[in-house]
A and B are shown apart, each in its own frame.
Chain A
Amino acid sequence: MSSENTIIINGQDYPFNTGEMILNVAERNGIFIPTLCFLKGATPTGACRMCLVEVEGARTLVASCATPAAPGMVVRTETARVIKSRRLNLELLLSSGDHNCLVRDMGMDSWTDFQLRAMDVKEHQDLCPSYGNCSLQDLAIRYRVKTSRYTPTDVKYPVENVNPYIVRDFSRCILCGRCVQACNEIQVNNAISHGYRGSQSKIVAKGDRALKDSDCVFCGECVQACPVGALVPVRDFSLTPAQAETGKIRTTCSYCGVGCQLYLHVRDQKVIRVTGVEGVEPNRGSLCRKGRFEFDFINDEGRLKTPLIKNNGKFEEASWDKALCMIADRFKKIITDAGPDSIGMLCSANITNEELYAAQKFMRAAVGTNNIDSFSSLCDSSTVPALTGALGIGAMTNPIEDIEKSDVILIAGSDTTDEHPVLSSFVKRAVAFKGAELIVADPEKINMTRFAAIHLKPKSGTDAAWINALIHTIINEKLYDEEYVSSRTSGIEELKKKIVKYTPEYAESVTGISRDQLFDAARRFAKAKAPSIIYAAGITRQAGGISCVKSLVNLAMLCGNPGESAGGLNPLAGQSNCQGAFDMGCMPDYFSGYQKVADESVRKEMEKLWGSKSLSANPGMRAAEMLEKAQTGQLKALFLAGEILNGPDDKTKAVIDNSNKLELLVVQDIFLSENASLADVVLPAASFAEKDGTFTNMERSVQRVRKSIDPRGDARAAWEVFCELSSLIGYPMNYENAEAVMKEIANVTPFYRGINYKRIENNRICWPCPDIDHPGTPRLHSGKFSGGPGVFDVSDY
C-alpha cells in the first residue's frame, strides 16, 4: 500500500481520503474511539477532549475528531497515556453534575447525601431518565471511572421544565455543545448557543431564556443529539428506568411527504418516544416537532375501535361482518340500480401504497368504475399533468439531498419551514454554510425569507406572471443554456414568441414586484450552476396552478437543470403518501404507474393480470367532481378511506357536509372525524404505527411502514377491508399480508417492478426501478428526458 494516503492506526495501515479526520478513518475500520461532542454532519469542535489519541511526533495528545489524517501518520488509540487522559476527563465530567447513576462508590453516607442533594433540585427525579441510554454512563463503565476524588458540584442552574415537549436539566449537561450544533448547523434554527464563560458556562436560548420564549421550534434535534440526560422529552422526564422502552421499530413518518425515517419506541403496546434514524436519507436523523413529539394520537383513548352503523341518526357499534355485509349489499344494489359509476371512493394521502392499490383495484375490478381519486388531487392537481406533459414524469426530479448542493434555490408558494421543516433544513444549510442564494416568492414574509437574498412578494394568484417575467429576462438577455435547450427540448421558438409580452415592466404592474427585483432574480437564477426550484401548495392550489407549474418547468428547462446532479424541479408533496396515491393509480384516469385507463391495451393487460371482468373505459370522476355530485345526488355512494386525520388536534376540514344527497357514505378513519360523523357506516382504521406497508415520499423513494404495536380495538388496515368487501361483492381479492400486495404492485407496475420489501429493508429505492437489479433512480432525466424531449408549453397568466 502506498504511504501516500495511508495512516497507521495501532500498527495497521489504513487508507484515507484527503481531508478525512483520524476519527473517521478509525470508525470506518471498526476501531473504537470514544466521543462525546462529535456530531455527524457538523464541524468538529474538539470540545469534549474524549477522542484524544496519541500521534507520533505531536507535542500533546490530539483530538482525533478534529485532526485530519496525514500521510504516514502514526496513531495509537489506546495507550496508557490516552487511557489516563480519558479517565481523568470522564472523572471531571461525571463529577461536574448530577450524574448520580455512577457515584455509588462514594461510600454509603455520601451517596445518600448526594442523592438527597440531587433530588433537592426542583422536579428532579432520583434517577436520570437517560439511565441506560447515556454516552457518559457507557464510557464511565467502560473506563471504570469513579468520582470519589471530588466533592459534588453545586447545581448552578435549576431544571427548566416549563416548555412544551422538552425539559432542560442543566445539572446533567456536560457542555459538549452537540445540541448547539444540532440546532445551528443541522436544523439551522439558531435558537441556542453557548453562554457565559468558564465555570458559569451554560447552553442558553436567546439571552438565557426558556426555550419556549426563544426562537426554538421544538424540532427536538437537540434532544436527539444530547448524549446524556440533559435534554429530555417532557414525557420521559417523569419516567423511571423501570418504565423504559422494550423495543424500537423503524418506520416512516406519516406527517408529510418528506418521509422521514424514524423509530417508534414502544412499551406495553404504546408508542412512548420517537427518534430519527441516523445516517439514512432522507432525514439523516432529523425530525420536526410533529414527527418527533406529536404521536399521542396513536395512543389516544378516543380512537375508533369498532365499526359503527348509524341507526336513526345514532351510531351503534357493530361487528365487522355486519358492517361489511351491509356495505356490500348496498353497493351491489346501487350498482344494479344506478350503475357502478354512481359509486365513488376518495382515499386519504397518508395511507400506505398497499391500501391505495387495493382501493383502486377494488373500485375498478370489483365495483367496475374509475371513480377513484385521492385527497392529494384536492391540493395538487397540477403537478402530475404539467410535469408529465413536459418531462414525461410527474414528480420531483431530484432527491431531497440535492437541494443542499444547489447554488441558487427558488422557493415558490411553500412555507417550507412550517410545512416541510426537515426539508427546509436542507435549504437553510445550503444558504448558511454552502454559499447558496435563496430566492423566495411568497406574498407573506414567511420564515424562510430570513435566509433569502431576494424576497419576491407577488400579489396572490399572480405567480405565472412573475415566473414568465423571469423567463422573459433570461431569454432577452440570452442567459439560458443554449446547448441544453437545443439538444434536449422542443418548443423554444414558440416560447420565445409567447413570452414577449411578459416584460418585467408588465409583470410589475400585475404582480406588484418591482422590475429591478425581477431582473435581479432572473439573473441570479440564470447564472446558477445548479439551480433548484421548490414549490408547493401555494402554487398548485391557486386557480391557474397548472399554468404556474408549466412556467416553472419552462424556467427549469431553460436554465438546464432538470436531470442535472443538483438542483431540479421539486414539488413538495403535502402528505406522507401523496406520491403513492398517484403512483398507485388512485386517480380516475390512470392505473398504477401512470398507465392510462383510456388505453385499451393497458386495460386488457390489467384484466389479464387481475383476472377480472372487463374494466371500465369510462373516465372516472375527480375528487372535486365526486364531491359536487354527492351534493346533487348523481353520486349515490361514497367511500372515504384512510387515516384522514393526523390527530385529534389537527383536523382537516370535512370534505363533505350534511346537505349531501348520498344514499351511502362510508368512512374509514382512526377517529370519529367530522367526515366520519356524517357517515352511515364508520370503520375503524389502523394507524401508521399499527400496520405494515410502504409510503412513497416526494422524492419517489419507496420506504417501509412497519407495524410496531397492535391496532387499537378492532381497527384494520384498509387493504384488508377492501379484500373482504371485494369478495363479498363477487370479485375475490386475497392477500396474505401487505408484502403480498406489494408483490402484486411490482408485478403490474413497471416503475415499481424492481421493488420488494427485502430490498427496501434498510434503504430506500427511488422509482423508476424497472427490475430487481436496478438501483432505482434518485435523479430523473439524466442525459435525456424520460418522455422524449422536454416540451416548452406556455400557458398565459
Chain B
Amino acid sequence: MKKIKTVKDLEKFRDAVLSSRNPDKPCITICSGTGCHAFGCERVTQGFRDALEMHGVSDTIDIRTTGCHGFCEKGPLVVLYPQKIFYHGVTPGDTAEIVSDTLLNDKIIDRLLYTDPETGEKIIKEEDVPFYRGQMRLIFGNNGKIDPEKIEDYLAIGGYSAICRVLSALSSSEVIDIIKKSGLRGRGGGGFPAGVKWESCRNAPGTARYVVCNADEGDPGAYMDRSLLEGNPHCVLEGMMIGAYAIGSNEGYIYVRNEYPLAVKNVGIAIDQLRKLGLLGENILNSGFNFDIKVSRGGGAFVCGESTALMASLEGQAGEPRAKHIHTVEKGLWDKPTNLNNVETWANVPLIINRGVEWYTSIGTEKSKGTKIFSLVGKVNNTGLVEVPMGMTIREIVYDIGGGIPEGNKFKAVQTGGPSGGCIPESLIDLPVDFDRLTEVGSMMGSGGMIVMDEKTCMVDIAKYFLNFLKEESCGKCTTCRDGIRRMYEILDGITKGEGKEGDIELLEDLSWVVSGASLCALGQTAPNPVMSTVKYFRDEYEAHIKEKRCPAGVCIALISYIIDDQKCTGCGKCVKVCPRSAVTGKKKMPHRIDPEICIRCGACLASCRFDAISVV
C-alpha cells in the first residue's frame, strides 16, 4: 500500500475505491458477527463461494462478510444488495438456491423471508423488518455495509473524512467545542459529557497524555461494544484519532477483553492498515499530528471496566479500583492525564464531525443526544442489538422493535443497565429512555443492557441473581461493597428459600443505603440498584415471600407447590411418565396427585399436561 500523506492523497484513494466499485453490482452480505458465527456463518459463506463458482459468476457478484447486524437470534443473516433482500436462518444448503433463484433469476425464496409474527406477512427488505424498522441505526447500521477487515469498505462509506476535516480545518479547541455542543455523553455507563471530559484532560498540566478506549464490556449479555469493534473498528479508531488530536495526545490504548478474540483481531488488522497507510504514526496527513494506538488485552474481571481499575490493569497491576481523589483526566494512566471513553462514545465522534452539531442534537432528548445501542434480551420476541434514538419509550422498544412478549404473556418489568441496573415496572412502560430518566426511576443506562421480564419472573429471584453476580465481581477491596453485597445476597437467598424474616426488607434497605453511599467505586455504588428498585416497585412480592412464604411468580422452588386440579385432570397419566422422581400417582382415568415431599419442583409435569390441570401455587 502506498502511504497516504495528505488529505488529497486520501481523497484520491477513496475515489479510486469508489470508482472501482459499481453500486449496482450485486453483493451478498453475510453477517459474520459473533452471534452468526455461532450459527455457522462461515460455512454459509463458503457455500455462497462454491455456488458462485459453480455458476461462473464469481466476478459479477460480490461477497462481503460483515460485522454484526444486530438481529442475532435469527442468524445467520444474509442481505442481498442492491435490492436489500433479507434472508434469515440461512444454512449452507440454502446458498445454491439463493444464487440460482434469487440472484440469477430474481426469484424470492419465501421460506427464508422474515414473517411478521403479528400480521403473518412475509417481509422482503431488511429495512421493512419490524425489528429494524423502528431503529435508527446511525452507528450500528454501517456494520452491515462493510467488511471490517477492509479499510476500503470504510472509506467507501465516507470513512476518515471526519479526521480529514478535523486535521485540515479545525483547531483542537474547535473540536472540543463541537463535541461539547453536540451534547455527546459517555456511553459506558456514567453518561458524563464527553466534551467536558476532553477539555479537562486537555487542560490538565503535563506533557504526555493518553486516550483510552474502554472495550472491556463485562456485563453479561451486553455485546454492543464488542460487535462494534468487530464489525466496524475503523469508526472507533477514527473517533479516537479525533479525540487524541483535540486533547493533545500522541498515544492511545484500546483495552479489550481477551475473551473477544474477533474484536482483538479485527481492531488489530485495522490498526495495521492505518499504520501502513501512514494514517497512524508521525505527521498524520501532513498536519504535524502524531498518534498511535496500542491494543491491550484485559484479564476479564467485570470490575476491570471501571476506569481506575482499567488503568491499573493497563499498567500491568492488579485491576482494582483506586481511590480517585484526583480525577483520571489529570492523573490516570502512569499518573498522566488520561481520557477514557467507551467504544460507542468514540464511534459517535466521526458522525458528529461529519453531520454537524445541529443535526446531531436534533436526535434524542433534551439532555441525552443521539442514539444508544441496547442489547435487548429476555422475554421478548425479537432479541438482539438495537439502536434507537434517545428518548424512545420502553413500550416502543419492547413492542415495536422487540415484537412484544412471547406466548402472549404479560410484560412485568424491564431491567436496564447491566447487573447493577434497576428493574422498571410496567407502570413506567411509557418512560422515555435516556440517561436521566432511567436514573430517576432507580435504574441506569449502564452499558445498555435491557432484559425484558414477563409475569413469570420473580423479582426477588432476579435481584438475587444480579447480586450473586456482583458479589463475585466485587474486587473485594472496600468493606461495604465486599461484605454489604454478600450480606444482601444472603438475605435475598434466605427470602427465596422461605427463610425470610420480619426486618429483612428494612435490613436490605439499610444495606442498600450504605453500600451505594459508602462504596469506593461505581460497582459498589450501583450494586444495590437491583434490590432497591425491586423493593420499591415490587415490595408486595417481597412481603409475600417473607410473610406468606409464597412466591407469586411461582419461581422460588422452596415456596411453590405443584398441584393437580381434580376437576380438570383426566387421569391420562402423561405427567406420571415425565416426572423424574415419580412424585405423581393416581389410578388410570382417575384424578392424579403430586406428593409435595417427593416433588422437586422441576415443572416437567406442568409442561406435559394437555388439560391445563396442573398449576403452581
Measured CB to CB, the residues of A under 8 A from B are: 21, 44-50, 52, 60-61, 63, 65-68, 81, 84-85, 88-89, 92-93, 95-96, 149-151, 174-175, 177, 193-194, 196-201
Chain A residue with minimal CB distance to B472?
Answer: A198
The listed residue (B474, B516, B520) touching A198 by CB distance below 8 A is: B474
Q: Judging by beta carbons under 8 Å apart, are A177 and B480 in contact?
A: no
In the complex where A92-B484, A151-B490 touch, is A61 in contact with B517 (Cβ < 8 A)? Answer: yes
Establish whether residues B514 and A85, one from each chain, have CB atoms under 8 Å apart when the complex forms: yes
Closest Cβ of chain A to B534, distance in Å, is 20
**A34 CB to closest chain B CB, in angstroms?**
12
Chain A: which residue is nearest B519 at the CB level?
A: A49
> Lowest 3 CB-CB distances: which A-B pairs, in order?
A201-B476, A46-B323, A66-B323
Known A66-B325, A96-B483; contact A47-B477, beta-carbon cutoff 8 A: yes
Residue B510 CB within 8 A of the other chain: yes
What is B's interface to A at a CB cutoff of 8 Å? 301, 303, 318, 320, 322-323, 325-326, 471-480, 482-487, 490, 503, 507, 510-511, 513-514, 516-520, 525
- B475 contacts across to A, CB distance below 8 A: 197-198, 201
Min Cβ gap B597→A in Å is 27
**Majority-rule SS of A interface residues:** loop
Contact of A199 among B325, B486, B503, B511 (CB under 8 A): B486
| B478 x A88 contact (CB < 8 A) | no
In addition to A48-B478, A85-B518, A196-B476, 15 A-B residue pairs with Cβ atoms within 8 Å of each other are A21-B325, A44-B325, A47-B520, A48-B479, A61-B518, A63-B520, A65-B323, A88-B518, A150-B490, A175-B477, A194-B318, A198-B472, A198-B475, A199-B471, A201-B476
Contact call A88/B511, Cβ cutoff below 8 A: yes
The answer for the CA separation of A201 and B520 in the assembled complex, in Å, is 16
Chain B residue with the shortest CB-CB distance to A21: B325
Task: For B321, give the chain A residue with the smallest CB separation.
Answer: A46
Q: Is the CB of A49 within 8 A of B479?
A: yes
Find B476's partner among A85, A92, A175 (CB 8 Å cutoff). Answer: A175
Do B323 and A175 have beta carbons less than 8 Å apart?
no
Also in contact, A88 and B510, with CB within 8 A (given A60-B518, A197-B475, A197-B476): yes
Given that A197-B474, A199-B471 are known contacts, is A63 also in contact with B323, CB under 8 Å in the complex?
A: yes
Are A197 and B478 neighbours in the complex by a CB distance under 8 Å?
A: no
25 examples of A-B residue contacts, CB within 8 angstroms: A21-B325, A44-B323, A45-B322, A46-B323, A47-B477, A47-B478, A47-B479, A48-B478, A49-B478, A49-B518, A49-B520, A50-B479, A52-B518, A65-B323, A66-B323, A68-B326, A85-B514, A88-B513, A150-B490, A151-B490, A194-B320, A198-B471, A199-B472, A200-B472, A201-B476
Query: In the assembled complex, which residues on chain B have CB atoms less than 8 Å from the CB atom of A52?
Result: 518
A149: B residues at CB distance < 8 A? 503, 507
Are A49 and B480 closer than 8 Å at their CB atoms? Answer: yes
Task: Give the distance to chain B from A566, nearest Cβ to Cβ, in Å.
Answer: 22
Q: Are A93 and B483 in contact (CB under 8 A)?
A: yes
Distance (whole angstroms) from the CB of A437 to the closest CB of chain B? 18
Given A89-B479, A193-B318, A201-B476: A45 touches B507 (CB 8 Å cut-off): no
Complex formed: what's the CA distance from A48 to B483 in Å? 11
Collect the chain A residues with CB atoms within 8 Å of residue B473's CB: 197-198
- B480 partner residues in chain A, CB cutoff 8 A: 49, 88-89, 92
CA distance A92 to B518 in the complex (A): 13
Residue of B nearest to A60 (CB): B517
A201 touches B518 (CB 8 A): no
Q: Are B520 and A199 in contact (CB under 8 A)?
A: no
Chain B residues within an 8 Å CB radius of A92:
479-480, 483-484, 487, 514
Question: B323's contact among A45, A61, A96, A201, by CB below 8 Å, is which?
Answer: A45
Taking the closest CB of chain B, its distance from the CB of A235, in whole angstroms, is: 30
Please determine whether B477 and A194 come into contact, CB atoms closer than 8 angstroms: yes
Whether the pair B507, A175 counts as a contact (CB closer than 8 A) is: no
B523 smallest CB distance to A (angstroms): 10
Tell me the bound Cα distance from A146 to B522 in angstroms: 28
**C-alpha gap A370/B301 in the complex (Å):** 73
User: Does the CB pair B301–A197 fall under 8 Å?
Assistant: yes
Contact assessment for B514 and A88 in the assembled complex, using a CB-CB cutoff below 8 Å = yes
| Shortest beta-carbon distance from B3 to chain A in Å | 39
Contacts of A50 in B (CB 8 A): 479
A68 vs B331: C-alpha distance when bound (angstroms) = 14
Query: Which of B322, B326, B477 neighbours the largest number of chain A CB atoms within 10 Å of its CB?
Result: B477
Which residues of chain A are near B511, meaning CB under 8 Å? 88
Instruction: Report whether B487 and A68 are in contact in the complex, using a CB–CB cutoff of 8 Å.
Output: no
Chain A residues positioned under 8 Å from B323 (CB to CB): 44-46, 63, 65-66
Known contacts A149-B507, A194-B320, A194-B476: A68-B325 contact under CB 8 Å: yes
Q: Which residues of chain B are near A46, meaning CB under 8 Å?
A: 322-323, 478, 520
Closest beta carbon of chain B to A62's beta carbon, Å: 9
Q: Among B301, B303, B471, B518, find the residue whose CB has the most chain A CB atoms closer than 10 A.
A: B518
Q: How far is the CA of A440 from the CA of B325 in the complex (A)?
A: 37
* Cα distance A50–B482 in the bound complex, in angstroms: 14
**Bound-complex Cα distance A42 to B46 (A):** 60
Chain B residues within 8 Å of A199, by CB: 471-472, 474, 476, 482-483, 486
Interfacial chain B residues near A93, Cβ < 8 Å: 479, 483
Q: How far is the CA of A45 from the CA of B516 in the complex (A)?
A: 18
Shortest CB distance B299–A (Å): 11
Give A150 to B507 CA distance when docked, in angstroms.
10
CB contact between A60 and one of B320, B471, B525 (< 8 Å): that residue: B525
Residues of B within 8 A of A88 (CB): 480, 484, 510-511, 513-514, 518
Residues of chain A within 8 A (CB-CB) of B320 are 194
Nearest chain A residue, comparing its CB with the CB of B480: A49
B420 to chain A, nearest CB (A): 14
Contacting residues, chain B, for A89 (C-beta < 8 A): 479-480, 514, 518
Residues in A neighbouring B322, C-beta threshold 8 A: 45-46
User: B477: which of A45, A60, A96 is its contact (CB, 8 Å)?
Assistant: A45
A363 to B479, CA, bound (A): 64
* Chain A residues near B479 (CB-CB < 8 A): 47-50, 89, 92-93, 174-175
The distance from the CB of A18 to the nearest CB of chain B, in whole angstroms, is: 13
A200 touches B507 (CB 8 A): no
Chain B residue numbers with a CB within 8 Å of A196 are 476
Bound Cα distance from A151 to B490, whole angstroms: 9
Residues of B within 8 A of A47 (CB): 477-479, 520
Residues of chain A with a CB closer than 8 A to B471's CB: 198-199
Q: Which B-chain residue is minimally distant from A48 (CB atoms)?
A: B479
Which residues of B lie under 8 Å from residue A66 when comparing CB positions?
323, 325
Alpha-carbon gap, A92 to B511, bound state (A): 9
**Most B C-beta atoms less than 10 A away, residue of A88, A89, A196, A198:** A198
Select A175's contact among B303, B482, B484, B487, beta carbons within 8 Å: B482
- Determine the residue in chain B with the shortest Cβ distance to A65: B323
What is the chain A residue whose CB lies nearest that of B473? A198
Residues of B contacting A81 in the complex (Cβ-Cβ under 8 angstroms) = 517
Chain A CB within 10 A, most for which of B303, B325, B485, B503:
B325
- Give the distance to chain B from A59, nearest Cβ to Cβ, in Å: 9
- Min CB–CB distance A95 → chain B (angstroms): 8
A531 to B493, CA, bound (A): 61
Of A50, A92, A174, A193, the most chain B CB neighbours within 10 A belong to A92
- CB B197 to nearest CB in A, in angstroms, measures 17
Which residue of chain B lies nearest to A176 when distances are taken between CB atoms in the complex? B479
Query: A382 vs B236: C-alpha distance in the bound complex, in angstroms?
Result: 67
Whole-angstrom distance between the alpha carbons of A197 and B309 in the complex? 13
Please give, as numbers and ranges, the residues of chain B lying within 8 Å of A63 by CB-CB distance: 323, 520
**Chain B residue contacts of A194, Cβ below 8 A:** 318, 320, 476-477
A177 touches B486 (CB 8 A): no
Q: Identify A150's interface contact among B303, B485, B487, B514, CB under 8 A.
A: B487
Q: Which residues of A contact B476 (CB under 8 A)?
A: 175, 194, 196-201
Residues of A within 8 A of B520 (CB): 46-47, 49, 63
Closest A residue, CB atoms, query B470: A198
Complex-state Cα separation, A305 to B36, whole angstroms: 88
| Complex Cα spacing A150 to B384, Å | 41
Q: Which A residue sits closest to B469, measured CB to CB?
A: A198
Q: A92 to B486, alpha carbons, bound, how many Å?
A: 10
